[in-house]
């Protein structure tokens, strides 16, 4: 299964980004092959509108089934939900992409069931 984590940088040692649509990168971890990859989100950083929708569509093309992030707006939520991508909130988590993955694998993150400005702990 592929897991996507929003990030400020292009590798697993980068700081997590709580934004979804305007995250700098999506870092992808493939559990089956134990490999990492990155997807730049540059096309959406300066988008006037629709950043979340476009980011959701780009992420769906990667085959990711899990997303770890902070904020997911209503339109992005619809795209991700339609693509059967389960969303998890980092809550107050800070640290690296690897830290976020470890928290997810340890069952410490809550699912995002509704879109919103921030998701609880």
Residue 65 has pLDDT above 60, yes or no: yes
Q: Give the CA distances from residue 98 to residues 24, 30, 86, in Å, rounded to whole numbers and listed in that order.
A: 16, 13, 19
Q: Where are the domains of the chain?
A: 2-111
Residue 21 has pLDDT above 50, yes or no: yes
Cα–Cα nearest to 23, from 9, 7, 10, 38: 7
Token pair in block for residue 67? 């997303």
Q: What is the CATH number of domain 2-111?
A: 3.30.420.130
- The H or E element that residue 16 is part of is none
Residue 45 has pLDDT above 70, yes or no: no
pLDDT of residue 121: 40
Q: Looking at residues 29-53, what average pLDDT do you find?
A: 82
């Amino acid at each position: 299964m592929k897991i996507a984590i929003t990030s400020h940088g292009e590798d697993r040692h980068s700081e997590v980004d709580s934004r979804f649509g305007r995250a700098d990168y999506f870092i992808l971890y493939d559990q089956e092959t134990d490999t990492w990859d990155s997807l730049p989100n540059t096309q959406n950083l300066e988008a006037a509108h629709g950043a979340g929708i476009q980011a959701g569509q780009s992420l769906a093309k990667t085959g990711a089934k899990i997303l770890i992030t902070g904020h997911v707006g209503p339109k992005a939520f619809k795209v991700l939900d339609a693509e059967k991508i389960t969303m998890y909130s980092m809550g107050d988590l800070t640290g690296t992409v690897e830290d976020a993955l470890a928290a997810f694998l340890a069952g410490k993150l809550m699912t995002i069931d509704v879109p919103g400005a921030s998701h609880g702990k």
